Structure 1
Amino acid sequence: MNDFQRKDLSVYRLALEVQTPPEPLPLNPATLLSLVRSQIDLLISQQITATFWVKLPPGKIWHSELLRYQSFIGTSGTIYNCQIKENAQVEDQEKITSSSHHICVQLLPNKQLRREYFLMVLSPQFCSLIVAHRPLRISKTQKKPPMLAMTTIDSRVIQPVLDGIKQATVRKSALSASTDFIYPSVSEPAIISQLLSRQLQRQNEINRHISNKRIVQLQQQNKKLENKEQRQDEYFRSVCHELRTPLTQMKTALSLLNSPNIKPPQRQRYLQMLNTQCDRQSNLITGLLDLVDLEYDLEKKALELINLADIVPGVVSTYQPVAQEKGMILSCTVSTELPDVWCVVGGVRQIVISLLQNSIKFTPNGGQIWVKACVQGDYVQLEFRDTGIGISENEISNIFDCFYRVRSGITEDVGGAGLGLTIVKRLLWRCGGSIYVKSKLNQGSTFIVQLPRVEKTPRAIA
């Protein structure tokens, strides 16, 4: 074999070049490992001392099979561990792995062999060869093709493969004095039967593992679908209930207005009830439409760079008249030196309006509300603190759920659509922000919004 042939060696091609080559079959690494394990199982059960020529994939799981056989065979056989590495690397590896029964063999640098693995078992009682070849991808976009593998016990195939490997070694001195082997003229039927049986057992184990894994995956998918359907059912039930409630109130008010004995103060009260419930239903429908738009379009919404000083003070100033009417003190502290933040287009304004309305709604007359912003690590933090009625500890985890309303002892009707905080949380999720709450009953609440900061970047729509 000339130098060019040695450098272009392919074990897979050598096995195919014999007169009656074994049939190559596609397989995955798990099946290849199963073939290797069944060979080791057979040699150990039949107490066969053999010589190995191997080139296996990297990883402990592969070489643990060699160690398993080595622990059985002791120093009676030899394992030639073939590798393709640089000279210095191989010399270091030989210091670690080479011994009288485990020899590290360096093969010539070879693109073909780099994509091939083999296990050759040689003994007077039994010989076999497993060769696996990884085809090249035609293009970068193509999926990685499966390995092609062949296995044989025919010495007419094994001998030229062995000769080719020995010719492709860098240093013949690494081989032992005797590398000629006596092959069995005819493989014993009992041994072949045992090998086939063990291969079937190993393959059945793989199939059971794959089947069990697939069953678990399907169960998890079904559970997710069931949970999703359950959430949807609960959501639709909540929507129906929320839409029905103001209609029931309006129907009651209309019935009472039809009474022939109704007095002017009562008429005014029922008309006010109709007006309030109409507003409530209008707010509910608007909130539902906003939420539906977010569900379908949120991931497509663009992000923009915003400086909170450009948005927050202006929004707060529009609520000053409402606060003054209730005798509240509403203050805002947002520095123009704060870094810009990422948020959904129009999202900051919507978040500020929702949280400010929430604070005003649940703060009794004469209370105080503070809005301020500061830098916290990688975020700009926007804080809404009030002296309102507060939230009980067991309710805090629910306030971002659809239609959830805090139960309070406040006498006026503060019922809204129950969707504002849900929308706020989803807007923040889109831009990588977050919101959390600190609150105690009758001591007020603090809503803390964190938005990702951006340093020294010109303001522009992303």
Structure 2
Amino acid sequence: MTLLVAPEISLYELAADSGQTPFVQVSPATFKSMVSNLIDLLIEQQTLAAVWSKMPRGQAWQTVLDRYCRLSDLPQAVYLLKNQREEIFDDSIQSFEQGDRNLANHPLITSISLAPESQLRREYFLLIWSEQFCCLLMAHRFKSPQATIEPPVLESGPEDSPDKKQSLSVLFSLDQAMIRQFLSQLNRELPLLDASRCEIRAPWEMLIDRVQPLPLDAKLMGRIFTKQIQRQEELWQRSTTYRKQAELASLLQRQNEELLTAIRLKDEFLNNVGQELRTPLTNMKTAITLLNSPNLKPPQKQRYMDLLVKECDRQSTLITSLLDLVNLDQRAEHTTIQSLQLSDVVPGVVSTYQPLAEEKGVKLAYIVPEGLPPVACLSMWLKQIVINLLHNAVKFTPKDGQVWVRAKQQGDYVQLEFRDTGIGIAPSEIPKIFDRFYRVRQAIEQETGGSGLGLTIVQQLLLHCGGSISVKSRIGEGSTFNVLLPIYQKPIEQEEI
């Protein structure tokens, strides 16, 4: 049976004006759990009750009340109020229609359709009237978007998701006088059609007059409170599980992205390796072919022999650098950072490059002050860093140029500066010089290119020991590479001992 109601007053305003029970802001999930608690209590206590209900549409909400209605000899009457045009927040319209049909066809349910302009369209409530107790649970969805933006989500599961939580203003009352006033106001706003007035009001008023709820029972109050605690714990556990699942999904997504990036970089690396290995092999093959020429003169033969030696050296350097780079991460995992003095490494490497610098007519000098604190690095790592940077500085500095290596403390780091008066690096190329196999244009034009991995290895070694490297350069004026090495800190265990 379906009737039409056009109330002119908001029941929320009526309850709020009473001032007896405060409203609290809760999520739709909490409101749904409170509804379920009260229905569970009716079922467990086998309570014969009359129920007035207005809930969001959808099978998830209607099933809660349907569990009580399906019990034989328990419900006295159920009045189901609903809006004529309900908001739809689920892709499955069929689920709404199915949920409504399940309740509308029940013999104990009177379905009351509200007018489209009804002020109850943003209100939901569950009112229970029985001899054991009476209670009112009411929720209001504010019209203002600042208070709550949307009505509750309707299906079980999505209503608990963080992105669909909308706040509701909820009231729970066990005050019989207030509940009577609520029912009286709702009764006055029933259909104005004469044919239907007595049809619903007579049994409604008879129920209220015949059934007189007993005074509040402390045990019953305890059950209501305990059930709500249990349900809140379930919601908390569920939200914790969802949060952990979301965190795990996010972690897996990040790991997947990192894996895809690693695969892409590996493919690029292998492609670059193939291209770098092909170049010297092609040059050597060309030189060997020309050496087999019967008309080759001695100067030409010597030139091709020198080319073979040069390309063999280049191939050897490239392979050695590749092995160093590939094995770097593996060695770093099983390596313990040590305390190291710059004076134990820098002078030895500089003296090794002195003959090469003198041969090129380049002045090479270093300054490592006494009293510098030790740095956190491995000796072989620091040696490799100094070799690679010093090698580049001498190689790209022309005759009568200068190369300096200076060390000084800078806060919690020791700065190692490599400065030269060489050919310099174009500003557009500076961001690329640490990329694998990258060689500056001037080096290619002057045929002084190496493996293209020296600076890459330097950067990786510094990352493993907590350091960094930066560069400043100008074409024709030279370059300055600044290396920052962290000062060694004793482990806490050693300090305590």
Give the TM-score taking structure 2 as reference length: 0.54
The AA in structure 2 aligned to 1:315 is: V
- Aligned-pair distance for 1:131? 8.2
Match of 2:171 among 72, 89, 106: 72
Overall identity of the aligned pairs, in %: 47
Query: 1:128 touches 1:151 (CA, 8 Å); kept in 2?
Result: no
Q: Relative to 1, partners in 2 of residues 1:430 and 1:213: Cα closer, same or farther, differing over 3 Å?
A: closer
Query: 1:122 touches 1:128 (CA, 8 Å); kept in 2?
Result: no
The AA in structure 1 aligned to 2:406 is: K
Distance 2:447 2:416 in 1: 28
Match of 1:259 among 255, 277, 293: 293
- Aligned-pair distance for 1:205? 8.9
Counterpart check, 1:374 vs 2:408:
yes
- What is the SS of the residue equivalent to 2:441? coil
1:342 corresponding residue in structure 2: 376
Query: 2:401 touches 2:421 (CA, 8 Å); kept in 1?
Result: yes
Query: 2:340 touches 2:378 (CA, 8 Å); kept in 1?
Result: no
- Aligned-pair distance for 1:262? 1.2
- What is the SS of the residue equivalent to 1:438? strand
- Aligned-pair distance for 1:381? 0.4
Match of 1:229 among 263, 269, 272: 263
Q: Relative to 1, partners in 2 of residues 1:373 and 1:209: Cα closer, same or farther, differing over 3 Å?
A: closer
The AA in structure 2 aligned to 1:46 is: L
- What is the SS of the residue equivalent to 2:487? strand
Q: Relative to 1, partners in 2 of residues 1:347 and 1:34: Cα closer, same or farther, differing over 3 Å?
A: farther
- What is the SS of the residue equivalent to 1:266? helix
- What is the SS of the residue equivalent to 1:337? coil
2:226 corresponding residue in structure 1: 129
Distance 1:206 1:285 in 2: 52
Q: Relative to 1, partners in 2 of residues 1:320 and 1:41: Cα closer, same or farther, differing over 3 Å?
A: farther
Gaps of 5+ in 2: 1-26, 39-123, 128-134, 138-159, 161-166, 177-217
Distance 1:211 1:306 in 2: 46
Match of 1:243 among 263, 277, 281: 277
1:39 corresponding residue in structure 2: 33
What is the number of residues matched between the two proteins?
304
Counterpart check, 1:329 vs 2:348:
no
- What is the SS of the residue equivalent to 2:432? coil
The AA in structure 2 aligned to 1:256 is: L
Query: 1:373 touches 1:383 (CA, 8 Å); kept in 2?
Result: yes
Query: 2:376 touches 2:489 (CA, 8 Å); kept in 1?
Result: no
The AA in structure 2 aligned to 1:238 is: N
- What is the SS of the residue equivalent to 1:265? helix
Counterpart check, 1:297 vs 2:297:
no
Distance 1:212 1:243 in 2: 46
- Aligned-pair distance for 1:294? 0.7
Match of 2:453 among 404, 413, 419: 419
Q: Relative to 1, partners in 2 of residues 1:340 and 1:76: Cα closer, same or farther, differing over 3 Å?
A: farther
Alignment of 1:167-182 (within 5 A): none
Query: 2:126 touches 2:136 (CA, 8 Å); kept in 1?
Result: no
- What is the SS of the residue equivalent to 2:481? strand
Distance 1:299 1:455 in 2: 20
Match of 1:316 among 350, 372, 385: 350
Query: 1:388 touches 1:443 (CA, 8 Å); kept in 2?
Result: yes
Q: Relative to 1, partners in 2 of residues 1:339 and 1:217: Cα closer, same or farther, differing over 3 Å?
A: closer
Q: Relative to 1, partners in 2 of residues 1:244 and 1:69: Cα closer, same or farther, differing over 3 Å?
A: closer
Query: 1:49 touches 1:123 (CA, 8 Å); kept in 2?
Result: no
Q: Relative to 1, partners in 2 of residues 1:205 and 1:334: Cα closer, same or farther, differing over 3 Å?
A: closer
1:29 corresponding residue in structure 2: none
- Aligned-pair distance for 1:377? 0.6
- What is the SS of the residue equivalent to 1:390? coil
- Aligned-pair distance for 1:222? 2.7
Distance 2:255 2:435 in 1: 24
Alignment of 1:19-38 (within 5 A): 36=30, 38=32
Gaps of 5+ in 1: 1-32, 51-60, 62-67, 78-120, 133-149, 153-198
